[in-house]
Amino acid sequence: MIQQLWSKSVLAIAIATLSTTPLLAQTANFEGLSLATGFRRASASGNTGGSVSLSTIANTDRYNNFCIGYGGTNPDHIIELQNNFPSLRFRVNTPNEATLVIQGPDGMRCVTSTTMNPNTVLEDTNWPSGSYRVWVGSKDAGDRFRYNLVVQER
């Protein structure tokens, strides 16, 4: 009887742990944003750093751009779009070369800065409402630098 009770308790704990795993995977490293149409500008800050190749999250985006750089396993930010947006602009302000990977309900979007233009800018159309996981990466594994992510409705 005690063994059956113990087995059922272990099973219940295992099920509870497994059922919360997707929620834990959604945890962001830094602050998130919740945006509704009509907002002017929103920003969130963070630090790059990590040794996970962002190409393991997405090799290419929906336009066949390569998703490169290094970041952490978890996204840096989670952005909730409360409405559909016709056009959004994401900009990573930093003096360093950064990469940006955005995973949303309609697929992946990626961009990489260059030495000529270190500020990473991704501007695109047709953003459906939903949750977007955002990674701000560095070109080299383990590089750490501060950045400010700015989102604007276009």
Per-residue confidence (pLDDT) for residue 119, from 0 to 100: 74
> pLDDT per residue over 39-68, tens digit each?
999 999 999 989 999 999 999 999 999 999
How much helix, strand and coil, in percent to the nearest 5, is found in the chain? 20, 45, 40
Q: What is the share, in percent, of the chain residues with pLDDT greater than 70?
A: 80
Q: Are 130 and 71 in contact (CB under 8 A)?
A: no
Structure-model confidence comparison of residues 7 and 62, the more confident one: 62
In order of their start, the domains of the chain are 30-153 (2.60.120.380)
Whole-angstrom CA distances from 105 to 10, 66, 79 are: 35, 19, 12
Q: Judge whether residue 7 has pLDDT over 60.
A: no
d(CA 35, CA 88): 11
Report pTM. 0.81
Q: What are φ and ψ of residue 104, in 5° steps?
A: -130, -175
Q: Judge whether residue 116 has pLDDT over 90.
A: no
